[in-house]
Amino acid sequence: MKKLLFMTLVALNSQYLFAQKKPNVIIIYADDLGYGDLGCYGATKVRTPNIDRLAKEGLRFTNGHTTSATCTPSRFALLTGKYPWRKAGTGVLPGNAVMIIPTDKPSLATVMKKGGYQTALVGKWHLGLGDGNEIDWNGSIKPGPNEVGFDYSFCFPATADRVPTVFVENHTVLGLDKNDPIEVNYQQKVGNDPTGKEHPELLKMKSSPDHGHDNTIVNGIGRIGYMKGGNKARWTDEELAYAFTERAERFIEENRQKPFFLYFALSDIHVPRMPATVFKGKSGLGYRGDAILQMDWTVGRITQKLRDLGIDKNTLIIFSSDNGPVLDDGYQDEAVTLQNGHQPAGPLRGGKYSAFEGGTRVPWIVSWPGVVKAGQTSDALMCQVDLFASFAKLTGQALGEDDAPDSFNMLDALLGRTPKGRSWLVLQGGSLSLVQGNFKYITPSKGKKLMELVNIEPGNDEMPQLYDLGKDIGEKDNIAAQYPEKVKEMAAELQRLKTA
Ligand code: NG6
Ligand code: CA
């Protein structure tokens, strides 16, 4: 009897240890969500109770970063553990681009797979597909997410404002009628579908003047790029959040007995913001605010699903965003006119596309009930490029020398065991910056000081910029002239890191 009890205790204990070691991991990656867009980061004009709850039950970072101020490079860094500016061709990609994640090197997903996880990507991909030969949208689309470590993938290829506006499930376009083949072209019009440019009267949401977004019209919205065919396979914008959430829930449910890794890359709150009808008009801030409510609903569905399945305590969730916020990113969706005092970047200067903090400092929440202490805030300097090495550590793996060259194991900071983050970080906005402690140095660059179309300061200046983020989080006071030695030292260090 005693022995039995002992064995049971050992078994329970090792199960507990196993549970501690191999939590399910979900990265919920919002698109273009700013530092000030959530209640738990100070927003008062829009309510995000589900995400706020995640923060309340876990850890909220105040100095968490993406590597870059746009989507493709940030996602590249997340999956490869490498700074995107080290590799040419990692800027915002069109919908028919070649895949830029190498298939012959480990990715975040292959690491998790090797660690014994079932892996999935659900949502926005935007890292290219295929190997350089023209993509056959009507056949098998390879290589893609499944070739870089995802057992299951359900995505759209680029952004919601770029063709083709279809779901790709593993290697095939979902719901494709073979008699209505898809053709995609980013140079010239294909097929007879009306374009936004020729037929603005057909649009249910107008594009903003001069932004483009006036090629093929799908679901009453002009897109970037031209497509023909695939009419039955085209999604409607209003179903995107639901479709992604449903697929994510299904993956969680099917894999609830195993450790799983879900990279859940939301389309919200990127343009075109055209949320499900039930969210339209709900926030009072236009469709951008409504998309925030929809995003919060998505998070609520996922956390509820985990609770329903009884696996919430064994699931590590990271919620973050790929870059900072933008109001007008190409469509007249009232984000500007109905802003109503909402500050999407909070106290930060700049936004999407910017070298200022608004470009890369984003919401970053970690929850793992019972392991990550509830209600913590950390001001550790964090970067998504480090998730690669941190997850390798979490799953008990050593990285090869050439793997994830820019990724450091920050697991202790990630789980709130230490307040110490990185001591330095390179960030990519209009130009490169280096953060060291409280100092931030921005490389001189010639470009415009204001991107008029999006009304964002990209951080360009022909003179070096130096800010003390400890005192001046809004980067208002350039102190480069007062600290010439510091400027020289940081410029040299950035140069060294670039070639290291
Ligand atoms: C820009 C688009 C913008 C958005 C962005 C990508 C124009 C003028 N603007 O080029 O609308 O699609 O690319 O956003 O075309 S990201 O979040 O995927 O990086
Ligand atoms: Ca983005």
Contact 196, 166 (CB under 8 A): no
Residue 21: its pLDDT value, please?
Answer: 57
| 8 A C-beta contact, residue 422 and residue 434 | no
Model confidence at 18, pLDDT cuts 50, 70, 90, reads: very low
Q: Which ligand is nearest to the CA of 70?
A: 1
> How far is 262 from 319, CA to CA, in rounded Å?
12
d(CA 400, CA 105) in angstroms, rounded, equals 10
Give the number of the atom of ligand 1 that is nearest the alpha carbon of residue 74.
Answer: 19
pLDDT above 90 coverage of the chain, percent: 94
Q: Is 94 in the pocket of ligand 1 (CB under 6 A)?
A: no
**CA distance linking residue 380 with residue 387, whole number of Å:** 14
What mean pLDDT comes out for the span 156-170?
98
Burial of 450 (0-12, 13-18, 19+ CB in 10 A): exposed
Exposure string for 338-377, b = 16+ CB within 10 A, e = fewer: bbeebbbbbebbbbbbbbbbbbbbbbbbbbbbebbeeeee
Segment 415-441 shows an average pLDDT of 97
Q: Is the pLDDT of residue 399 over 70?
A: yes
Q: In the structure, what pLDDT confidence band is assigned to residue 15 with cuts at 50, 70 and 90?
A: very low
Pocket flag, ligand 1, residue 95 (CB < 6 Å):
no
Q: Check if 427 has its Cβ closer than 6 Å to any atom of ligand 1.
A: no
59-61 and 226-228 beta bridge pairing: unpaired
What's the chain's average pLDDT? Answer: 95
Instruction: Decide if 36 contacts 43 (C-beta within 8 A).
Output: yes
Q: Residues 333-372: pLDDT tens digits?
A: 999 999 999 999 999 999 999 999 999 999 999 999 999 9
The answer, yes or no, to whether residue 433 has pLDDT greater than 70, is yes
Looking at residues 97-117, what average pLDDT do you find?
Answer: 98
Q: Is 271 near ligand 1, meaning CB less than 6 Å away?
A: yes
Give yes or no for residue 88 having a pLDDT over 60.
Answer: yes
What percent of the chain is modeled with pLDDT above 70? 96
Q: What is the dihedral of CA 52, 54, 58, 62, to 10 degrees?
A: -50
**Statement: 424-499 belongs to CATH 3.30.1120.10:** yes
Comparing C-alpha atoms, which of 206, 442, 159, 474 is closest to residue 343?
474
| Per-residue pLDDT, 170 | 98
The residue type of 322 is D
Mutate to test the pocket of ligand 1, among 210, 329, 428 (most ligand atoms within 8 A of CB): 329
Task: For CA atoms 145, 146, 151, 156, give the dihedral sign.
Answer: positive
Domain with CATH 3.30.1120.10 in the chain: 424-499
Q: What is the pLDDT of residue 9?
A: 47
Specify the CATH number of the domain 24-182+234-415: 3.40.720.10
Is any atom of ligand 1 closer than 6 Å to the C-beta of 124?
no
**With 50 as the cut, is the pLDDT of residue 465 above it?**
yes
Name the segment(s) of the chain with CATH classification 3.40.720.10.
24-182+234-415
- Secondary structure in 3-state letters for 296-339: HHHHHHHHHHHHHCCCHHHEEEEEEECCCCCCCCCECCCCCCCC
pLDDT band at 13 (very low <50, low <70, confident <90, very high): very low
Average pLDDT of the segment spanning 474-484:
98
Whether the per-residue pLDDT at 1 is higher than 80: the answer is no
What pLDDT does 3 receive?
Answer: 46
CA of residue 122 to ligand 1 center, whole Å: 20
- pLDDT tens digits, residue range 308-333? 999 999 999 999 999 999 999 999 99
Query: What pLDDT does residue 450 have?
Result: 98
Cα 470 to the center of its chain, rounded Å: 26
33 in contact with ligand 1, CB cutoff 6 A:
no
Whose Cα sits closest to atom 16 in ligand 1? 71
Per-residue model confidence as pLDDT tens digits over 242-253? 999 999 999 999
CA distance 193 to 198: 10
Q: Which of 496, 500, 436, 425 is nearest to 466 (CA)?
A: 436
Q: For 246-298, what is each residue's pLDDT tens digit?
A: 999 999 999 999 999 999 999 999 999 999 999 999 999 999 999 999 999 99
